[in-house]
Chains A and B, each alone.
Chain A
């Protein structure tokens, strides 16, 4: 499998750290951002293959980020996995156009599987 570029957006540094470690471990290039306002800008600049996105974030919610991405950007087809501990997370993620939803706390095996499935 080719090395892919994965963007991780979460306001929690611990979660970013864990996801970054596991994605690098399985051989992907990882970019991280903890400020959801900057996600669109990074996508435009870095052209990642996949976005792992949290929902509940200060400033701009993952839901808004995703809607913005799907409706008003040149990267509307970007693969997106939404991760959230919110109870209605799956419903929100699906409605906003996520390709996959994974509940927190997630299983790393699960994350790897989903990432690989979406990238192939």
Chain B
């Protein structure tokens, strides 16, 4: 700023006031504190201060004049800005600092101090001028802002870390699962592939990412049926469930893969992505097949000595002395009964093995449903005369099914009802027409089942926890029943409550399975 010409101003004009008076009034009207020090005297005392300086510092003129300005710093003497001031004073330069000062009452205020030397014609410093502004509010605002920034940065750091942790958590799961996982975009290009996928198919990330699913490997996934299913996923949210692909894959040879695919959902909204899970079930299937073989062989081998036993029993029966005692005859009769029971058990094992290999043959023929049920119930009544088995309802239906298999199911449900209701002699059988089906229900008033048992009761070799202790057996009867009914395109289910009993029901299409397949 060029101030050289200020001296030449003639401010007073005709007002009567002197220039000095006007200047002093102007200084007193200022909001900035102004002081002048005399550099020619020892310790540079203040020789002038305006009103604003008094207002800002809280000191009165008489307490200010003659003092060095450092009194404003009170006990706060270690500020860096003091060095700047001392250097500028020593070297006769102007400077601007922000320094902590204290009012007379001890309150801190931030002083933005502009200090400039005044030189005489010889170039010697005679005075210093100090202009002070109280910038406490600005300093506070700046401080708050900095504080705010620190807090924000801290928060961002925390959020970022949480996000990274959850990403690491998820990715460690994705990389650890023993299932190949691919994420596909709507055009079925691979967006990501997990480690297990790469390892299973012995491929690299480079030859997988960005490529279309159907182009991978030797086009093993390019199957019309699979294409159809995948196309429906995004628009309909119909997942692909347990789709089997048997293929001669590059690098790894002939394998059986199980595919499951789902639409990726995030916070209730679906994204345009498909998660494809691929599981190698080659070994599992192999083991299942071996188990089938084992069951077949075991059944065969068990039947061989049984055949001999049965033969000897029959030979003995033929040679039975006429004077044999009652006790001997009844004991002998029991041997035959238990041989037959053993044969039935072995037969069940074979049945299971047949079901598993899909070899259960159905001999479909028309028969009178009510008669078949009545015969099965009568048969059971003869076996357990102490029980009261009631048969309610009639269908009048002539149905097409494998009669011996259905009779086997009814007998099995009845014998279960008897076996698992040791303290109840009451069993109710209900038959009815339901639309194009016949329905059979067998109700007992026995132990009942827990929800867990209800879910698993139709599984192979499953036995209820409590049941296992009280009623030893193989636990395949209901599995066979379920498979027989399923093969007829009917359903078998159970409703049960612990302590109250169970109701096993099944439905069968009257017209046979062909019409319903």
A12 at the interface (CB under 8 A from B): yes
A69 at the interface (CB under 8 A from B): no
A86 touches B300 (CB 8 A): yes
Residues from chain B with a CB closer than 8 A to the CB of A14 are 304-305, 307-308, 311-312
Residues from chain B with a CB closer than 8 A to the CB of A21 are 315
Residues from chain B with a CB closer than 8 A to the CB of A22 are 311, 314-315, 318
A106 touches B315 (CB 8 A): no
Q: Which of B296, B308, B354, B359 contacts A15 (CB 8 A)?
A: B308
Provide the bound-state CA to CA distance between A68 and B352, in Å.
Answer: 34
A46 at the interface (CB under 8 A from B): no
Provide the bound-state CA to CA distance between A103 and B304, in Å.
Answer: 11
- The closest CB in chain B to the CB of A25 belongs to B318
B307 touches A87 (CB 8 A): no
Q: Indicate with 1 or 0, residue by residue over B415-440, a CB within 8 angstroms of chain A CB atoms.
A: 00000000000000000000000000
Which chain A residues (45-59) contact chain B, with CB distance < 8 Å? 56
Residues from chain B with a CB closer than 8 A to the CB of A106 are 307, 310-311
A99 at the interface (CB under 8 A from B): no
B311 touches A12 (CB 8 A): no
Q: Which of A18, A25, A56 contacts B312 (CB 8 A)?
A: A18
Distance to closest chain B CB from A90 (angstroms): 11
Residues from chain A with a CB closer than 8 A to the CB of B296 are 86-87
Distance to closest chain A CB from B335 (angstroms): 13
A85 at the interface (CB under 8 A from B): yes
- How many residues in A have their beta carbons less than 8 Å from beta carbons of B? 20
Q: Which of A15, A85, A86, A87 contacts B311 (CB 8 A)?
A: A15
Q: Which of B300, B308, B353 contacts A18 (CB 8 A)?
A: B308
A41 at the interface (CB under 8 A from B): no
B303 touches A18 (CB 8 A): no
A85 in contact with B299 given A105-B343, A107-B314, A108-B314 (CB within 8 Å): yes
Q: Which of B304, B312, B343, B354 contacts A12 (CB 8 A)?
A: B304
B interface residues, Cβ below 8 angstroms from A: 296, 299-300, 303-312, 314-315, 318, 339, 343, 350, 353-354, 359
Q: Which 3 A-B pairs have the closest CB atoms?
A: A18-B311, A14-B308, A85-B303
Question: Can you list 14 pairs linking A and B with CB atoms under 8 Å apart?
Answer: A12-B304, A12-B305, A14-B304, A18-B308, A22-B315, A56-B300, A85-B300, A85-B304, A86-B300, A87-B299, A87-B300, A105-B309, A105-B343, A106-B307
17 other A-B residue contacts (CB within 8 Å) besides A15-B307, A85-B304, A87-B359 = A12-B307, A15-B311, A25-B315, A25-B318, A56-B300, A85-B299, A85-B303, A86-B296, A87-B296, A87-B299, A87-B300, A104-B307, A105-B303, A105-B306, A106-B307, A106-B310, A108-B318
